[in-house]
């Protein structure tokens, strides 16, 4: 795995987890604690997977596919 990608993926996951906990505690307090925990875990994992695949891979052999500007 690329270590350079994780420089972006881990902070995205942390920000999503903190945001999810904040929103669930303040705006959706009626949701049970176990379900809040499951929501936070799923949101964190999904955001990590999406960030991993959406951030570009920095490789030496990879051709830069940006068009002429």
- On the question of pLDDT at 66 being above 90, the answer is no
Instruction: Summarize pLDDT for 17-35 with one digit per residue, the tens.
Output: 999 999 999 999 999 999 9
- 21, HSE (Cβ side, Cα atoms, 13 Å): 8
| pTM, two decimal places | 0.76
Residue closest to 9 by CA, chosen among 59, 64, 53: 53
């Amino acid at each position: 795995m690329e270590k350079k990608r994780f420089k972006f993926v881990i902070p995205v996951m942390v920000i999503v987890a903190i945001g999810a906990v904040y929103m669930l505690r303040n705006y959706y307090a009626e949701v049970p604690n176990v379900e809040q925990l499951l929501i936070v875990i799923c949101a964190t994992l999904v955001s990590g997977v999406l960030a991993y695949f959406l951030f570009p891979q920095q490789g030496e052999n990879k051709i830069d596919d940006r068009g002429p500007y």
